[in-house]
Amino acid sequence: MNRFVEKVLFDPQDHELLKIVNDVLNRDKTWKHFKKLFGSHLHPHGIKEMAAPKELRIAYAVIQLLDALTVGKAEERLIALRSVMDEVLHIAESSLRKNTARVLLQIMKDLVRAHGNYQRQLELAHDFRRAASGKPRIIREQLRRFHLLEMSEEWNQVTFDDHVHDANTKGRKSATHLIMDAWIKGIRSLIVIYYNYVTPEAAAEALEAAEIMGITVRIGLELSARFRDKYVQFIWGPRGFLDAQDFLEFLENPSVREFMEESRKVSQYQQRYVFACLQAFNEQHRLHINETYNIDLAPITEEEFLAFVAPGQPSLLHLSELIHTRLLPLLETHIKALRTQSVNATLEEQEQLLHVIRALEALGAEEILQQYLRPEQNPTIPNPNIPQNDDTIPEMLTLSPYQLLERLNQLHSGYRITLNLNELTVEDVLELLYDCQGMITHLEIFNLKDYVTGKMTHHAKINALQLAINEGNVIKLKRLIREILQQVEVSEQADKDSRIEKLTMILRNISTLKDFYKMTPLKSHIGSDSTGRLSHLYGMGLAVKETLPPRSQRECEASLGLSREIIPVSTTVHLQVTYIPPEGLNRKMKTLYQRVWRIPGFRFWRYRRKKDWEMQVHSHRMEAPGNIVTLGGMREVNTPRFAATPPATRDVLPNKFWRYANYGLANGLKVLIGFIPAFVTFALTMEWWPLKYFGAVIWFGITGFRNILQSVLGGGGFRRSPLLTWSDYVSWGRLADSLLFTGFSVPLLDYVVKTVLLDQTFGITTTTNSDMLYTIMALVNGLYLSGHNAFRGLPKTAIFGNFFRSILSIPIAIVFNMLIGNILASMGMVGVNNILQKWATVISKAASDCVAGVIEGVADRYQNMRIRSLDYEGKLMQLRDAYAQLEILFPETDVMEMLKSPKEFIKEITTKAKKLEKIIIINALDLMYFWMYQPRARSVLRKKMRSMSTEEIQILAHSQYVLQRQREISKFFVNGLIGKNFSRALSFYLDRSEEYIKAINKLADTCIQRRN
């Protein structure tokens, strides 16, 4: 990277972020102290902000998570995941909070994967810091780059996957990694499938990770039962548990453990086939590959295979991937040699060599699986998927479907039983539904893997049968069964006679079949069957299109056939709106609201509105076009695995200059680009020298002052913390954007609208009709503001708000015009109307910005108060939990009185609960930091304390007395409470704790007096 690029591209912070990423990836212990910043009670907006910037904290947290995904234990992965979520969800302060967090996680994952490619990492580091701003246009741009759909910030979309695998079976990702990736994609509900059994450890990791991410996860066990000449698969999902802990206790039940041990024998039986295929590969197929491709692939040992699979269950998919991993370096070396050989070869020889090279490049894991490991390629090895009759078969594989489901019914009364339709015909499904007597609750009506591989030939007929059963329509059901019976009669199935007999019996007992599902409909599941290993399949995740934001729906339509697929399934969704009354009202306010709510049109005034979508799971219909879209894309399969030459260093200058320009240069260019049209317009159209040379400066001064004023007022105004200056509240990036777009409004308003359109065309001036002049200018300005707001991707409220702000500015502009005219007239100025005409655009601009300063300042205030409210809710909940633990720890002591004496409190708690002492101190430090540094924290805390009970106020105030123990808390800082960079935080605590305690006590006394 040349010196020019270093000067104009990227920021010092990008290099700093990249340094910590690579140091941690290289196992450099310099940053080990960062781990201290991720204690479960340290708030992202709290005292640890003084120890490290938020970007560095997120980078370290994600790296720790990704590192734990490969080498760590489940407990380490979950701690890392919780830390990551705490950081990314609190970094974004824009309208796209959750979408920003999704982008940040995805960028950081790619940054870690790009280890070794410094320039690519640097680009991603810059992208990360850009995305951290939360600007809608940037976030949406990054979502498109990473093939992610924008999700509603209400997080109410219907997104799901009823069939996925993690690393404990044949998936590529650990449960934590799977859940994190599901959240990044926007998935809200998952069913994780395990083969035959699940360990409590695996279930605990999946369920706890899901709780951290706010995803609904259910555990399903895929079990086999003997049916005619094959095995059918059922997915058993126990349900009806109070929480995750209740489910884990269920797994420890002796009868369940016994069942799991028996099911484990089935897995061991099936895995013997995999090891037999490994032996066959070593003895036959490996030799064929070596001879065909002129390489020397060594045999693969069972120990090596088991180490590669761990912690999963050995499968042919694992084996093919291991073989491919072993082949890659050998193939790469051979291909390089062939390319060198082709340089001096004849044209015919070059074509032959190219053919060989293409064959080598196509030898991926999927090709190995199909060519060497499928049962048809190893006919001498008994196929475990075909029922055998010998003593080696586990007892579980001898059970009929009814016997298996009856046994599951004895284990737990609440359950879902899903019938996997893979390779089943409609007559199979009809028989199974009848034989199992209503115990089958769901059909896996659509499996994305089967759909892509063309194995869903009978699903439409099966779905028709399902709908007929659910409707309870005997006529339709009879017609369907007769059609099925006729198909069997003309077929050539070996067991045709027995099938005809069985179907005839079902036909005679239609009412019995119908009654099985009279009370509870036969529902559907739809899943991807994703493992994350096969490139020719879509990844996990499906979404009901209507529940996505309109922008995402349009993107789905645009990407059909390219990277997304609308599957041929339709479902019905209902929008539910819940109105939640305001909480924490005192008696007078509650009485006032109740009277207002009786007024027509004010029934739900000040209610919080919550919208959610509900999917009708018994309404799935196989039809095209459907309304369910894939969230995961399909990876390119035609991309060569080996490049002919090493990839050249990418040049970021030609097409990415603006994106990677450092922030100082980018903001400066924005201001300059906006200033040029403003200056040129005033210089060419004005004759009076103040406007000719300083009009653009005045114009920019109005905009800049308004942006600064609204930021300061939104952040706290005159009652802000004395530790913060006005510049701490200003977003210079937002100011630069505002100046860029305001510059282009000068030629539009001053020349096009005021001069050409109104003056020269219609003769409208401040002299002839000043009201019309300012009205039209305001309306045009409103359209321009709304237009560039939409271009920047701002919320609809901002777009419409900026249009109506211009309407509100009309009377203010007219008043300004009158006042200035009167002042000039009183000063004896000549040609007042001519002066006003020249200044009309500036007057209109000043009026518009006056209104904007108030409206956007209020919007900034609301945004800051919303974020502070979230901060305080989390922290006060921790405080209440800590106080409850104190009450339990000291049952015979008045804890409230104990908190009033910090010395005695520290002495008592140190002997009984050292960890709880640390939690209480952290809570107090974070609350102190909120009060002193976070915008609008004081206003929010006042509001919350007014709605608290007297006891709650006293608990909050008295718990802050612990900050008086400066010696003990200083020792905590020195011993690594927030890592090595504690000096600034310690100094802040020592200097400001006494002032803070007095302020909290004064506020508490005021609130208590008001309550009394």
Q: Of residues 997 and 799, which shows the higher confidence score?
A: 997
What's the rounded Cα separation, in Å, for the pair 949 and 972?
A: 32
Beta strands in 409-520 (DSSP E): 415-419, 442-447
The gap between the terminal CA atoms of the chain, to the nearest Å, is 69
3-state SS assignment for residue 286? helix
> With bands split at pLDDT 50, 70 and 90, how would you rate the model's confidence at 77?
confident
Q: Report pLDDT for 634.
A: 63
pLDDT of 292 higher than 60 = yes
Q: Report pLDDT for 645.
A: 40
**What is the rounded average pLDDT of the residues 427-450?**
94
Residue 24's contacts (CB-CB under 8 Å, 6 or more residues apart) are: 31, 60, 63, 64, 67
Q: Report pLDDT for 720.
A: 59
Joined tokens for residue 517: 């599902």
What's the rounded Cα separation, in Å, for the pair 793 and 802?
A: 14
pLDDT of 680 higher than 50 = yes
Q: Of residues 359 and 922, which shows the higher confidence score?
A: 922
Q: Report pLDDT for 901.
A: 80
**What is the rounded average pLDDT of the residues 503-509?**
93
> With bands split at pLDDT 50, 70 and 90, how would you rate the model's confidence at 643?
very low
Indicate the length of the chain as a whole number: 1012
Instruction: Measure CA 826 to chain center.
Output: 63
Q: Report pLDDT for 248.
A: 92
**What is the rounded average pLDDT of the residues 254-265?**
94
Sequence letter at residue 434: Y
Query: For the segment 177-227, what is each residue's pLDDT rounded down to a tens digit?
Result: 899 999 999 999 999 999 999 999 999 999 999 999 999 999 999 999 999
pLDDT of 652 higher than 50 = no
The mean predicted confidence, pLDDT, of the chain is 85
Instruction: Measure CA 753 to chain center.
Output: 45
- CA triplet 722, 726, 732: central angle to 5 degrees? 145
**What is the rounded average pLDDT of the residues 974-1001?**
89
Residue 385's contacts (CB-CB under 8 Å, 6 or more residues apart) are: 230, 231, 375
Torsion of CA 909, 914, 917, 921, to 10 degrees: 150
> With bands split at pLDDT 50, 70 and 90, how would you rate the model's confidence at 91?
confident
230-238 vs 216-227, strand pairing mode: antiparallel
pLDDT of 650 higher than 50 = no
Between 489-503, 533-547, 672-686, 888-902, the lowest mean confidence (pLDDT) is in 888-902
Q: Report pLDDT for 845.
A: 87
> With bands split at pLDDT 50, 70 and 90, how would you rate the model's confidence at 728?
confident
Between 76-85, 378-387, 397-406, the lowest mean confidence (pLDDT) is in 76-85
What's the rounded Cα separation, in Å, for the pair 445 and 418?
A: 10
pLDDT of 647 higher than 60 = no
Q: Report pLDDT for 719.
A: 58
Q: Report pLDDT for 133.
A: 83
Q: Report pLDDT for 734.
A: 82
**What is the rounded average pLDDT of the residues 659-667?**
83
Q: Where are the alpha helices (DSSP H) in 827-901?
A: 832-889, 895-900
Task: Residue 394: count other Cβ atoms within 10 Å of its Cβ.
Answer: 18
Among 59-68, 227-236, 756-765, 839-848, the range of highest mean pLDDT: 227-236
Please list the helix, strand and coil fractions of the chain in percent, rounded to the nearest 5, in that order. Answer: 65, 10, 25
Q: Of residues 259 and 78, which shows the higher confidence score?
A: 259
Sequence letter at residue 917: E
Q: Report pLDDT for 625.
A: 86
Joined tokens for residue 282: 């070593």
Q: Largest Cα–Cα distance of the chain, in whole Å?
A: 116
> With bands split at pLDDT 50, 70 and 90, how would you rate the model's confidence at 639?
very low
pLDDT of 969 higher than 80 = yes
Q: Report pLDDT for 6.
A: 60
What's the rounded Cα separation, in Å, for the pair 598 and 603?
A: 6
**What is the rounded average pLDDT of the residues 332-359?**
74
Nearest CA-CA partner of 274 in 371, 384, 377 = 384
Q: Of residues 65 and 266, which shows the higher confidence score?
A: 266
Q: Where are the alpha helices (DSSP H) in 363-400?
A: 365-368
**Element (H or E) spanning 225, and its range?**
strand 216-227
pLDDT of 424 higher than 80 = yes
Q: Report pLDDT for 25.
A: 77
Between 267-281, 285-299, 629-643, the lowest mean confidence (pLDDT) is in 629-643
What's the rounded Cα separation, in Å, for the pair 545 and 936?
A: 39
Q: Report pLDDT for 3.
A: 62
Between 255-269, 391-405, 688-702, the lowest mean confidence (pLDDT) is in 688-702
> With bands split at pLDDT 50, 70 and 90, how would you rate the model's confidence at 692?
confident
Query: For the segment 24-67, what is each residue's pLDDT rounded down to a tens digit?
Result: 777 766 666 667 777 778 888 889 888 888 777 877 777 777 77
Q: Report pLDDT for 281.
A: 93
pLDDT of 483 higher than 90 = yes
Domain extents for the chain?
A: 3-147, 155-165+190-210+219-226+397-632, 266-377, 661-861, 890-1011
**What is the rounded average pLDDT of the residues 410-426?**
91
Nearest CA-CA partner of 867 in 93, 214, 101 = 93
What's the rounded Cα separation, in Å, for the pair 232 and 230?
A: 7
What's the rounded Cα separation, in Å, for the pair 179 and 382?
A: 37
